[in-house]
Structure 1
């Protein structure tokens, strides 16, 4: 957790001051110097499932917006890593709350949804499938590729991450967002169809 040797403290402090003076490009050089050690530290402290790149990005954004709080000629690395610890702690708290919510409510919600779907007439189920295909076809190419990989080719998440150049956590998040998008699309089309039938 130290300033990289090839970037001495006077250069660092000068870049921080230029950033404070309005030169946003100066902060890019600060990020470049610390992004590798910061990501390495996060990778060593974050549990599986945490998107280290996302936390690192949030840390740098927070540092940039709070740069006036940093006291010049002190330990910038310690200050930056303290922000990273806070960002990681915040994310862990969010995930724990989310897991607790799902543990409490997901089984009940799933059961209700299954009961609702089970009571649907077969033709309505077929209509839903038709709408699903239309909604999948309407996705942008890069999103439809994820659907194909996961559900048609049944490619593991790790391989999807390697193919797309993302972390496994980022791929999971992308799939969740796609499922949400498809669900909204299907519901919208079902509502439109019901409106047209009345």
Structure 2
């Protein structure tokens, strides 16, 4: 049985609120989800896949405080899973194409990813609210332009322009050292 986004998110939030039973249930439900994710992408042995699943579960548990309750849980989960997979490829020095790598912020390990996330949050705070929301929705949360537009009640062109202008501003700020 595959759990829905709402069920997983509800269990995560309940676990954050101190419900250990729900947190344990969440981790159990994530096992088959993560196994499938890694089987489709990692092309490793069963032991490698099981190691990746366990590493991801540990990261979900130890980094649960970084989860933003207002965000999509599975986007957060699969970001962790991608980082763990990249770390695994680095350890075994295997070249493997990773879907959408050019759109993914890659950190050396999960601790650095958390630091990168804080840096991103600080940078986004310097932008106008709409630009920051649209960059977060499309580039971080993984929504399509149409989904982000519908969720925020905007036109698709408005979303595209907001993302473009926001990214342009961030690039200028980073290259110029302005923060």
TM range (shorter): 0.3 to 0.5
TM-score of the pair, normalised by structure 2: 0.45
TM-score with structure 1 length normalisation? 0.41
Point out the structure with max Rg over C-alpha.
Answer: 1
Indicate the structure with greater helix content.
1
